[in-house]
Amino acid sequence: MNYRVIDKDTYYRKGVYRHFTEDCKCSVSMTARIDVTELVRYSKNSGTRFYINFLYILSKVLNSREDYRMGYLWETDELICYDVINPTQYVFHEDTETCTPVYTEYSEDYDVFYANALRDAEEAKKTREYLLDKDHPNWFDASYIPWCSYDSMNIELPDGYLYFIPIVNWGKYREENGRLMMPVSVRMNHAVADGYLVAKVFSLLEEEIKAFTAER
């Protein structure tokens, strides 16, 4: 885990950061539906899992900008930027109706990431423990909710809690006007992100889906 410390005096969001870490500590969340038609088609044609394919694209998007890789060290009151953030996915156990976190290191190489994510998920199926590892500060939460195609969702953290890593959820896709649309929810701390940066995640996801499916 590597990171660099951000100089808060020269940080381009200096004023916003100060306001939302001192005066008004809060988060911002947004849900939007993105077009996953081509990614679903690719997944079916290639015999690969749509879930892991989307997880790869999401991980690539969140690693593409420093804004999505920000962290806070409360011990030293330091704003940092991680070199890379990795997804914490989840395995659902039908028999116990519980989940087990799955830690998969991000690799820009799709084949490497896919194989690792598949292996990690299969390994997690062997346990029914939650196994939340607090030694993974640069891991973002990526949770799939396949049971419904929702319209909105909010993830709440304790007031004043300066947690900067994005939290992303997505639900079941459904057909709308001949296209497959999937709800995606993004939660970020307002100190390091505003509406533009949260909304940018959705456009970047669709752009990356187009690029990913076009080259395969």
Q: List, in order of start, the domains of the chain with CATH numbers.
A: 3-214 (3.30.559.10)
Token pair recorded at residue 131: 């196994």
CA–CA separation, 117 and 96 (whole Å): 22
Please determine, for residue 105, whether its predicted confidence score (pLDDT) is greater than 90: yes
Q: What is the pLDDT of residues 14-44, one digit of tens each?
A: 999 999 999 999 999 999 999 999 999 999 9
Entry pTM: 0.95
